[in-house]
Amino acid sequence: MADLAAPVNAAHTPRAQHDLTGYGSILATMKFMRWAIEQDRFPTVEAVQCRFKVCRATAYRWTLALAEAYGIDPAIRHSFEEPARLRRNGRRTGA
């Protein structure tokens, strides 16, 4: 009888993780907020993915939460007609 390889358990398969894995969600949130406030425009999902090496779904959730926190309509947060901006004092400004 041939030796068979042990079955691979998907629950124990290592997955790629983003840069802030292991730091806890509070630190990850603080680093994201600090970076987002420093940007000239509201950060895009692609910019968040690039900066923090997170998946698209995570970047979308982070930008959605940021928009809600600043009272920015999620539908226009990446609009080219009225780009959203964040001010350091926490108030949203237009273009």
Q: What is the pLDDT of residue 80?
A: 54
Q: What is the pLDDT of residue 60?
A: 92
Q: What is the pLDDT of residue 62?
A: 93
Q: What is the pLDDT of residue 70?
A: 87
**For residue range 12-67, what is the model confidence (pLDDT) as tens digits?**
666 666 665 666 778 888 899 999 999 988 899 999 999 999 999 999 999 999 99
Question: What number of other Cβ atoms are within 10 A of residue 34's Cβ?
Answer: 9
- DSSP-derived letter for residue 59 is H
Name which of 84, 69, 82 is nearest 33 in CA terms.
69
Question: What number of other Cβ atoms are within 10 A of residue 90's Cβ?
Answer: 10
**For residue range 63-92, what is the model confidence (pLDDT) as tens digits?**
999 999 988 887 777 665 555 666 655 444
Name which of 91, 92, 26 is nearest 83 in CA terms.
92
Cα 39 to Cα 59: distance, rounded to the nearest angstrom: 15
